[in-house]
Structure formats: C-alpha cells, structure tokens
Amino acid sequence: MKLESPVLLQPAQIAADFADALAATLPLQARFDALHRAARAQIDVPRALREDRLNRLRTLVKANAEAFAAAISADFGHRSAHETRLAEVFPSLEALRHARRHVGGWMKPRRVSTSLLFRPGRARLIPQPLGAVGIIVPWNYPLMLAVSPLAAALAAGNRVMLKMSEFTPRFGELLAQRVAELFAPDEVTVVNGDASVGAAFAALPFDHLLFTGSTGVGRHIMHAAADHLTPVTLELGGKSPALIGPDYPLARAVERILAGKLLNAGQTCIAPDYVLLPAGDEAAFVELARATVQRMFPDLARTPDYSSIVNDRHFGRLQGLLDDAAVRGARLEPLSDLPADPASRRFPPVLLRGVHDGMQVMREEIFGPLLPLLPYRDFGEALAYVNDHPRPLALYLFDNDSRRQQQVLHGTVAGGVTVNDTLLHIAQENLPFGGVGPSGMGHYHGEEGFRTFSKMKGVFLQSPLNGMALFNPPYGRLMDRLLAFLTR
C-alpha cells in the first residue's frame, strides 16, 4: 500500500487501501474461505457481471503490458520484449476478446433432444459456475498462462485464486498488486510464495484446480487434490516431435522448426523436442539450421531478441543434458560460435546427432534450445517411434502429401497438432488445448475452457401429460409387455 499524499486521501479511500493490503497478507486458508463463501452466496452469476470482470481483466493487461514485460525480463535475466508481446500479451487479449464476445451464448441454457419414449417432456443443459477455482501458473509464460485460464474461469462465473511461480517473483508481485486494484479479494486473488506455499495451495478444497507445469510436479498436484476429490485439469509437457515428410522442402521445415524451438530460448511446453527426418538429410539440416540462426540472431551475444534461461538451476540442467549426451556418444552441432554464458544465462542453440533413448536428453523434456535429430529410413518407422513413446503434448508434421497427413493425424495420439508449422494450434481459441496421458488431462481455451470451469447441469422437465403412471406397481402383464418393448 502506497500513501504518497495522506492528507489528500478521503477516509473511504484509506479504508479501501487498507482492506486491499490486508487481503494480500491474509493466510492462504482465509483467502480461500472468502472466495468460497462469495461463490456460495452468488450461485447465479449474471452475464453483465461476467462481462464486467472480463473487461476489467482486459484493462489490466492492456494498461500494464510494458510493465509486465519489464518484470518478466528482470525475472529471466533477459527476456525479449517482442516475444512477451507476441506470445503473452497478444494471446491473453485474444482469449479475453473471444470470451467477451461469446460468453452470452455459452451461458444460455441449451435444449437437447429428448427420447421419443419420454416426450412431451423436455431436456435442458444449464451451465453453472463451479464456484472457487484454483489456477497454478508456471514461470515460462506467466502472463499468458495466468490470463488465459482466468478468462475462461471468469466467463464461467467463478471466483479465482492464482498461485504464481516463485521463479518469476517480480512479475508475480506486480500482478498481485494490479489485480488487487481492479478486483475484490473475493473475486480474484493472487498468491505468491515458494514450493511450500504451492503445496498448501494445491491441498485447498477448490471446486476445480488447473495446473500447468511438469509431469513430475503434476503427479503431486493430482495426489494433493485427491484428498478433497477436487477435479483437476493438468497441462503438462513431454517430448513433442517434429516429423518431416520424405519430400517436404527441408529449408522451409528447418526455418519453422527453429522458429518454434527458439521462441523464449526453447522454454515452451509445446516447443519441438526432437526432429524425425529422412535418413541422409542430417548434414543438410545442420547447415540450414546454422544459416537460419545467423539470419534470426546475427549477433547472438548481444541481440535483445534471444531470451535467457530463467535461472542458474535450469541453465545447469541444460548443460548437464549436453554433457550426458556427449559422454554417451552424441555428436553436438552448435548453431553459433557463442559459448554458453553462465553469467547472462544465454544458452546458444545446439543440435544433437547420434542420439538414443539411453540419453537423458531423449528421456526428459528439454525445455531449452537443444534439439536432437533422429533419422528414419521408412515413414512408418517414424510413426512407430512416436507411438512407442509417451503421448506428446504437441506433434508437428511437415508434409504436403494428403495421404501421409491423414496417416499421421489418424495413426498417432497427441494433445494437439500443427501441420507445416509449429506452435500455432495453441493460438486458436476455437480449438481445445490440453494433453493426453503423461502430457496432461482436460482442456481449456474458448468454449472448452468455459465448459471445464462450468457444471453442465442436466435438467428434465416433465410434461403434465405423461405415461409414467403405467410403470407404477403392482406389476403385472402390462408391465411385462412394456418391459419387453423397452428391452427389445
């Protein structure tokens, strides 16, 4: 709470500022209780209030876009401001525009067909808010991965508590301050803190909990939620392959794969994690990749367009992946002459050849600018490799052959797919986003997000004219005939 000119403030304003500051310091349980009570007190949330909350959130994002970008960059050591605008501000505003435009239609009761046997009765679906929703936000895209699910939860009429990552503390504190200025503590509240706070947050009895992060942490989140039977949406990660068809233009594939891989220096849950390419194309891929990096980042050491690794721990983890691969026989192909710099945490992109599943880089999600190349001799062999491994969050196919496109789309299972590009399926508000198996469960974005955070309550409206009395006891021949007809 900042009081620059206390003599000018009215008592009501002082009281409001004090209340906001107090709410920010309340214990976790008390903040949850306030949300929970408010949700139970107002079950039917009108359209106007939902739209107002979405408008306030849009105002918050637009008014603070530059400050948010600066805070995120400070948390990373350096984060490209253009990447923040492109990959965080734009999709956040797009999610809010989409929800604001469609919330009126989404929340209308829907008539569904009624079996002929039960007419003239009628059936309806009535969307209702779940109540108090928890959202656990990761560090890699802290603005977009807070706002996008928050937009869906608010459109559905919920009250929301967000837990921000301890790896982006500056942004987390700034978001908490800005949210407290525009939302009551029992509407939306932001929690910051370390892993112990996160564990306590996950153990609260939310009506729904959404977590975005690693598969390993996701297991703990699901376990904590199970104590209260809290339903969860888990947006995890894994090994997302890029598959290049046998006659697709290699230069085009390389450019689009690297554009997706090097956004945020590879710290993207749906970044390509390895490339399956026709045997014999590896050397050409390496040369094209070097030329692409030189074109995108002509001065990698000083360009503001290349982001740093978020902290020393993740920088060391990436170096450990490279060291392990080299010891186990991989051939490292640096795409820049710049060495990895622990001081700036600027990690240059590296391709890896001769990799195998015994290497850590092929067992763990990379989350950085390292990209293994796996040659295949037969297209079916490439599909078999994908299907023999845990189902990925994303799959990227580069192929203009419609037969092979259908073969991949129908012959593999992945959370989402982009054909002849990378990442773009996540930007489509009309497409659900979510993983499958180890890469996650549940969906959000657009109407799918509204449904995730709503109870689609089924209602049957009986007609005054109905034949249900025919099924009352005592049972006899008429019931036998009716049952014979129903079970024919």
Q: Is 4 considered catalytic here?
A: no
From CA 132, how far away is CA 139, in angstroms rounded? Answer: 23
Distance between CA atoms of residues 14 and 161, nearest Å:
25
Architecture of domain 241-434: 3-Layer(aba) Sandwich (3.40)
Crossing angle for the helix pair 11-25 and 169-182, nearest 10 degrees?
140
Nearest to 122 by CA among 141, 103, 109, 140: 109
SS3 content of the chain, % helix, strand, coil (to 5): 50, 15, 35
CATH number of 6-236+443-456: 3.40.605.10
DSSP labels for 408-425?
HHHH---SEEEESSSSGG
The Cα 366–Cα 319 span in angstroms is: 11
- CA gap 241, 397 in Å, rounded: 8
Name residue 339's amino acid: P
Catalytic site residue 365? no
Catalytic residue among 269, 282, 333, 447: 269
CA 172 to chain centre: 17
Report yes or no: 212 and 145 within 8 Å, Cβ to Cβ. Answer: yes
pTM of the model: 0.92
Q: What is the pLDDT of residue 5?
A: 30
pLDDT value for 11: 45
pLDDT at 92: 98
Where does 157-286 show beta strands of DSSP type E? 159-163, 188-191, 208-212, 232-235, 241-244, 274-278
**Taking each helix axis from N to C terminus, what angle separates 282-296 and 250-262, rounded to the nearest 10 degrees?**
50
Name residues of the chain where pLDDT drops below 70. Answer: 1-26
Pairwise CA distance, residues 365 & 216, whole Å: 11
Do the two domains 6-236+443-456 and 241-434 of this chain adopt the same fold?
A: no
Under 8 Å between Cβ of 9 and 3? yes
Q: Of these residues, 83, 88, 187, 235, which one is catalytic?
A: 235
DSSP 280: T
Q: How far apart are CA 124 and CA 129, in angstroms?
A: 16
- Please report, for residues 135, 136, 146, the alpha-carbon distance to residue 201 in angstroms, rounded to integers and kept in the order given: 9, 8, 15
Residue ranges of domains in the chain: 6-236+443-456, 241-434
Which of 229, 143, 185, 172 is closest to 37 using CA atoms? 185
Burial bucket for residue 369 (CB in 10 Å: 0-12, 13-18, 19+): buried
